[in-house]
Amino acid sequence: MAASIVKRVSRVKKLNVSHISARYKLLTGSRHFSTSKQWNKALVLGVYENESTDSIDFTGTARKFDEKADGKISQLLLTVKKPLKCGKTRTLHAVDPEFSSVLVTCIGKRGEGYDELETVDKGRESIRAAVAKAVLQLRELGENEIEVDSCGDTEASAEGCHLALFSYDDLKAEKSRKPAVRISCATRYSQDKNCMEEEWRKGAILAEGQNLSRRLMEMPANLLTPTKFAEIVKEQLADKCEVLVRDKDWAESMKMGSFLSVARGSVEPPVFLEIEYKGRQSDSPLALVGKGVTFDTGGISIKPSQGMDAMRGDMGGAACVAGSLLSVSKLQLPVHVKAFIPLCENMPSGSATKPGDVVTAMNGKTIQVDNTDAEGRLILADALCYSEQFNPSLILDMATLTGAIDVALGAGAAGVFTNSDDMWNKLQKASVRSGDRVWRMPLFNHYTKKITECQLADLNNIGGSRSGGACTAAAFLKEFVNNKNWLHLDIAGVMSNSGDVAYLGKGMSGRPTRTVIEFINLMSKETKN
Ligand code: BES
Ligand code: ZN
Ligand code: ZN
């Protein structure tokens, strides 16, 4: 790599949002606990689904609590004849002097695990959903310190709680915000407290990464400009990673004509972020690439106005990269990761790219931009080319790229296009653990032909017809990758949650951050990375 060209540019322009920042806690969203606060303690206990009307199938932890309470918990539960079903809860009061509420939540059948058709670990998913429901109900009751049963999988339990309690209300008045809640793992009867605490911490960190992605995605585009995104990433990651903030001049010097053709319609300057986490010495890092369109109007090929507000989340790929790096670095995984994030707005204006314009990408390929709304692939083209300069052992890109992937898979799974069966197997394995699923899609030449048939240039940025839109988009990206281990994740369908995932509230989802973290964790076990 030509080190002379890659000089460190970290001039982050100060945004004029200080008046807002002063009033609201824009960045961290973390709650501050006052020492004078009165703590209302509650306990969450798990039970397995059980047909019997005269016995309760408690988790190990729950059984110990029941014994300590002289069987009061089981007695109270058995006063109701109908056994608890998976996902249902019962709240008990005055059971234990230490806790104002004891909430019993059903975590499904004992011994549930991998479900092949669902390609998910059902046991872990049920725990996440059950504890999520429990802590939300207790927060509604005004409880603010909650001890939670590990339910036999401490990490999943921690994930469920921490994901469920997330809410983006930084911009609301204090009284309308969700109250702060302290959660911890009920370890007191555990044989190995330290091990349990460590697992809990891991789950909490996984959730923290996804919650950072969610916060970034949810932030309105007038506040989260490319410059502000870079500022937040620096604030969140700078102590563990090297964060380079490149400006427009740098992108010009790198001949990123494709990326710059999208940015040129906006008054907001583009930013290209380069982040490095070095958890081990290696010459072949894992490369992560994320689409960072902080707002996508469609440009001159403007989108319909209905629902356009959701396009503040069009930096979901970038957000998931940032969230993943936060967790990977906090977990101190022994892996070398380099991340590349092109950030800009896609706006219509007198200086915007026009349909039919031809631009040149970093690798010299010319592109006829027939639709300015297919901008994600244009910014990724240059980012992918640039990432190849660092001899990566794999390249994983994530992008809210096409409405077509939403039509194909909905919120059921992220679409994955990859040239490597090995990478696919590892990513799928990671997603079984995380519960945040992936589904493989084709990279046939059939789709490549659609974008190489072009009147004026080497490539057209659209496929000509709407059919197979996610596949033609992936075929376009393929033209900018030589790496034998490339994965492209189209995450437009999983961008937001409208109730499909029980432990994520409504709004921007931050998916598939935890799958990517698990994948990096798997890769870190391979010596070459
Ligand atoms: N950002 C959109 C894709 C998108 C759609 C993300 C829905 C999240 C939810 C992307 O830039 C886009 O507009 N794609 C076009 C491509 C088309 C013009 C070939 C699309 O999918 O319609
Ligand atoms: Zn678009
Ligand atoms: Zn877009």
Residues 6+ apart with CB under 8 A from 377: 401, 461, 473, 476, 477
Rounded CA-CA distance 225/146 in Å is 37
Rounded CA-CA distance 22/291 in Å is 30
Choice from 262, 291, 312, 314 to test ligand 1 binding pocket (greatest atom count within 8 A of CB): 314
Tokens of 438: 């992936």
pLDDT (tens digit per residue) in 198-215: 999 999 999 999 999 999
Nearest ligand, CA 310: 1
Asked if 206 and 519 touch (Cβ cutoff 8 Å), the reply is no
pTM of the model: 0.94
> Is residue 350 predicted with pLDDT exceeding 50?
yes
Alpha helices in 141-192 (DSSP H): 154-164
Lowest mean pLDDT among 49-53, 128-132, 437-441, 447-451: 49-53
Q: Give the distance (Å) from ligand 1 centre to CA of residue 403.
A: 5
Asked if 361 and 367 touch (Cβ cutoff 8 Å), the reply is yes
Tell me which DSSP letter residue 86 carries. Answer: T
Cβ–ligand 1 contact at 492 (below 6 Å): yes
For residue 23, what pLDDT band results from cuts at 50, 70 and 90? very low
Cβ–ligand 1 contact at 355 (below 6 Å): no
Choice from 373, 451, 465 to test ligand 1 binding pocket (greatest atom count within 8 A of CB): 373
Count of other CB atoms within 10 angstroms of residue 86: 16
Q: Give the distance (Å) from ligand 2 centre to CA of residue 397.
A: 17
> Is residue 340 predicted with pLDDT exceeding 70?
yes
Q: Give the distance (Å) from ligand 1 centre to CA of residue 473.
A: 10
Is-catalytic flag, 201?
A: no
**In order of start, what are the domains of the chain with their CATH numbers?**
41-191 (3.40.220.10), 210-527 (3.40.630.10)
Nearest ligand, CA 461: 1
For residue 38, what pLDDT band results from cuts at 50, 70 and 90? confident
